[in-house]
Structure 1
Amino acid sequence: MLDWEAIFATRSTRMRASEIRELLKLLDRPDIISFAGGIPDPALFPDAEFKEAYADIFSGPTVGAALQYSVSEGYLPLRKWLVGEMAKIGIPCTADNILITSGSQQALDYLGKLFLSPNDTALVTWPTYLGALQAFNAYEPTYDQLNITGNRTPEAYKAAATAAGGRVKFAYMSADFSNPTGETMDRAAREKVLDLGDELDIAIIEDAAYQSLRFDGEAIPPMLALEIARKGSINETRTIYSGSFSKTLAPGLRVGYVVAAEPVIRKLVLMKQAADLHSSTINQMAICHVAERGFDAQVAKVRSVYSRRRDCMLAALSAHMPEGVSWTRPEGGMFIWITLPAGFDGAELLAKSLVSAKVAFVPGKAFFADGSGANTLRVSFSCADDRMIEEGISRLGQLIRSEQLAKVA
């Protein structure tokens, strides 16, 4: 037998299967109530609008361009539309500050490749988005905890990175309704991250995949907007804004984008040329068609449905979770983060839940770069109706209560 492991690059040892991707397979099991997949509800997709968009493309003069190779930067009308959207949230820029990617996940992969040499340090929150860890892992970094509320100094971050054999290269975070916790960084915390970025002279990667999905509370400017306000121009900033149409329009088309200073975009374009030349032209054109004709209305529809489901899940948690269990109360997004009493293991609980309660969720440990957080779990309300939420959380609460009693006995 050929020993493939001896031929693979050493970085391949850091590649791990996504627990979330594996759990998505449970969506096809009718006996399972799944809160596992952080995916949009397909019933909310603007399918009629996309049908019209593709029909217009195929019946119009641009069909040849839609099916042809295109520029690596992305479809210019879509980038120009994004310029207008960015201006609305305090990010004045030009089309030259925008790169279209094959989903925001590709953007994270490119940014890991761009900044990380082996043993360099990436600062991430504890917990953080699992997909970001998977993207960065291939470039063999060391992870350190981005702790904004503590008293850790820039010198401490530098010393830890030097001891690991590299230097700090970037801080990564999801500032709005983060995956997995659903929490939002307040303005003061965002300002502290910007201060830290300047003190360490590092990039700041702002994952804004859920930024449009605010249900209530006061909107907080993106970190890129705050930094532009400080420095006067996007080309003077170190924050890299990663956005996506997956949570608002349709994930299957794989259209994301990066907004950043021109030197960063130029490097990312070179990576795009080497990786896949460009994102699907026809899908970019369809996204642009639908976005120009009804993006705000589509987002309002999604917000309304998800807001109600969040409220339903929060009420169910309050009604059915035993004492000692706590959870976040997000102002938007798709997720609630549950913390179980000490001694619980989310992975063990999931194994039992799939057999007895028939409820799926994501164990929290996968979201911690250091392997901690065993007594946490993530639940998503985006694809569950009120009946599923009430029944599923009730079953899960009963299981946790029975496990508590077993531990006492």
Structure 2
Amino acid sequence: MGDWDALYATRTKNMRASEIRELLKLLDQPDIISFAGGIPDPALFPKEAIKEAYDAVLSKNADIALQYSVSEGYRPLREWLVQHMASLGVSCTIDNIVITTGSQQALDYLGKLFISPGDTVLTTWPTYLGALQAFNAYEPRYDRLNPEQGNMTPAAYRDSAKAAGGDVRLAYLTADFCNPTGETVSREGRSRLVELAHELNIPLIEDAAYRALRFDGDPVPTMLALDCEREGHIDRTRVVYSGSFSKTLTPGLRVGWVCAAQPVIAKLVLIKQAADLHSPTINQMAIHHVAERSFDKQVEKVRDSYRKRRDYMLDALARFMPAGVTWTKPEGGMFVWVTLPDGMDGAALLAKALQKARVAFVPGFAFYADGTGKNTIRLNFSLPNKEAIETGISRLGKLIAEEAI
């Protein structure tokens, strides 16, 4: 066998298997209670509406649906998204929107667009594992954002990046019900981040995958809306908004979008032309058909279900977790973030949980750019039902108590 490792590009050294994608394989084992992947409940998918959408598309517009198309995306879907963004306080046109094959593709494209080897990416500790994987291919280093506690000064960020041999090139975070912690950044924190992006003259990527899944409390304006208010026009903003239909309608059709200043969209279109020409038109048309007719109703159904499961999990954690364990109390999204007693390792706990308790979760260190956070774990509540949550948290609490002795 040839030495393939010697032939790979240097950027491949940062490629790692996703902790989450590997754990998804456990779903095939029926006795495993999984709190691992951020998986929507398939029982909530609008299956009949999607079937009707494909039937309508193929009966009326098959030639368009099955043909090559423009890289920007299906125009009626982009027009619907213009109205959707307006409902979020963002005034834009279709020239400010490009359709991507899921929001994960958007993160890859944005990394390709902005990051050169040795440059610095600013992100929270912890942050979305998929973002780290997307950006790692472009060989950055990372520095830490602290939206609520206070960030470094722009000069300090620049000096730190320069000392490492590069520039500060972008900032990234999920502001609403963050994956993995479930926490939401305050309006004040968002405003500080927008100001920082302008002072550093860098893009601020707003990953809004969970934005629609608010159960409690008042909505906080998007960072893009705050930037539009600050600058007076979207084409003068620094925020790049990444949205997705995966958590509201269905993940399997892989439809996401980016809303940003027109020059950024124009560059992303060129990247898309070189990568895959365009996202599948038939999927975009089907998503548009469903969104136009029942988006709000579908979102409300998902919220109602996930709100109940969030409550089940928080109640079970309160009853079954031993002293020394703490957790977040998210107002929406799909995740609860658990901090274990000092010195307890989440990865080691997972190995024992799979063997002894038949419970799966994601160790927290995977979400840290520097590999810290070893005494943390992420729990998902969107997929397991009430009985599974009760049983799984009970088993996990017992195991943690035993390990803490």
| Bin for the TM-score computed over the shorter chain | over 0.9
Matched, 1:347 2:367: no
Task: Give, in whole Å, the separation in 2 of the partners of 1:140 and 1:41.
Answer: 35
Task: Give, in whole Å, the separation in 2 of the partners of 1:380 and 1:372.
Answer: 21
Deviates more, 1:150-159 or 1:382-391: 150-159
TM-score between the two structures when normalised by the length of structure 2: 0.99
Runs of 4+ residues deviating >2 angstroms: none
- Describe how 1:69-84 pairs up with structure 2 within 5 A: 69-84=68-83
AA matched with 2:9: A
Please name the residue that 1:207 is paired with. Answer: 207
RMSD: 0.6
Task: Give, in whole Å, the separation in 2 of the partners of 1:383 and 1:210.
Answer: 15
- Describe how 1:155-166 pairs up with structure 2 within 5 A: 155-166=155-166
- Describe how 1:187-336 pairs up with structure 2 within 5 A: 187-336=187-336
Please name the residue that 2:40 is paired with. Answer: 40
Task: Give, in whole Å, the separation in 1 of the partners of 2:150 and 2:97.
Answer: 34
Task: Give, in whole Å, the separation in 1 of the partners of 2:269 and 2:5.
Answer: 32
For residues 210-251 of structure 1, give each alpha carbon's deviation from its aligned partner in whole angstroms, at most 9, with x where no partner exists.
000000100000000001011110011010000000000010
Deviation at 1:91, TM superposition (A): 0.6
Tell me, what secondary structure is at the counterpart of 1:55?
helix
Tell me, what secondary structure is at the counterpart of 1:169?
strand
Tell me, what secondary structure is at the counterpart of 2:252?
helix
AA matched with 1:120: D
Deviation at 1:39, TM superposition (A): 1.0
For residues 104-130 of structure 1, give each alpha carbon's deviation from its aligned partner in whole angstroms, at most 9, with x where no partner exists.
000000000000000000001000000
AA matched with 1:43: A
Deviation at 1:150, TM superposition (A): 3.0
For residues 367-386 of structure 1, give each alpha carbon's deviation from its aligned partner in whole angstroms, at most 9, with x where no partner exists.
00001000000000000111
- Describe how 1:109-120 pairs up with structure 2 within 5 A: 109-120=108-119
For residues 142-180 of structure 1, give each alpha carbon's deviation from its aligned partner in whole angstroms, at most 9, with x where no partner exists.
111112313521111111100111000111000000100
Matched, 1:135 2:161: no
Deviation at 1:57, TM superposition (A): 1.2
Matched, 1:173 2:179: no
Matched, 1:121 2:120: yes
Tell me, what secondary structure is at the counterpart of 1:211?
coil
Tell me, what secondary structure is at the counterpart of 1:206?
strand
Q: Is the 8 A contact 2:145 2:151 kept in 1?
A: no
Q: Is the 8 A contact 2:36 2:378 kept in 1?
A: yes
Tell me, what secondary structure is at the counterpart of 1:369?
coil
Task: Give, in whole Å, the separation in 2 of the partners of 1:190 and 1:196.
Answer: 10
Task: Give, in whole Å, the separation in 1 of the partners of 2:153 and 2:99.
Answer: 36
Deviation at 1:292, TM superposition (A): 0.4
Task: Give, in whole Å, the separation in 2 of the partners of 1:242 and 1:153.
Answer: 26
Deviation at 1:324, TM superposition (A): 0.5
AA matched with 1:8: Y
Task: Give, in whole Å, the separation in 2 of the partners of 1:151 and 1:244.
Answer: 28
Task: Give, in whole Å, the separation in 2 of the partners of 1:43 and 1:218.
Answer: 28
Percent identical residues:
67
Task: Give, in whole Å, the separation in 1 of the partners of 2:260 and 2:154.
Answer: 24
Deviation at 1:134, TM superposition (A): 0.1
Task: Give, in whole Å, the separation in 2 of the partners of 1:58 and 1:146.
Answer: 47
Deviation at 1:21, TM superposition (A): 0.2
Matched, 1:98 2:97: yes
For residues 339-397 of structure 1, give each alpha carbon's deviation from its aligned partner in whole angstroms, at most 9, with x where no partner exists.
00110100000000001011000000000000100000000000011110011000000
Could you tell me which runs of 5 or more consecutive residues in structure 1 were left unpaired when the two chains were aligned.
none
For residues 54-84 of structure 1, give each alpha carbon's deviation from its aligned partner in whole angstroms, at most 9, with x where no partner exists.
1111111x11010000000000000000000
TM-score between the two structures when normalised by the length of structure 1: 0.98
For residues 5-32 of structure 1, give each alpha carbon's deviation from its aligned partner in whole angstroms, at most 9, with x where no partner exists.
1110011110000010000011111110
For residues 89-112 of structure 1, give each alpha carbon's deviation from its aligned partner in whole angstroms, at most 9, with x where no partner exists.
101100110000000000000000
For residues 310-354 of structure 1, give each alpha carbon's deviation from its aligned partner in whole angstroms, at most 9, with x where no partner exists.
000000000000000000000000000000011010000000000
AA matched with 1:14: N
Task: Give, in whole Å, the separation in 2 of the partners of 1:150 and 1:232.
Answer: 26
For residues 171-196 of structure 1, give each alpha carbon's deviation from its aligned partner in whole angstroms, at most 9, with x where no partner exists.
10000001000000000000110111
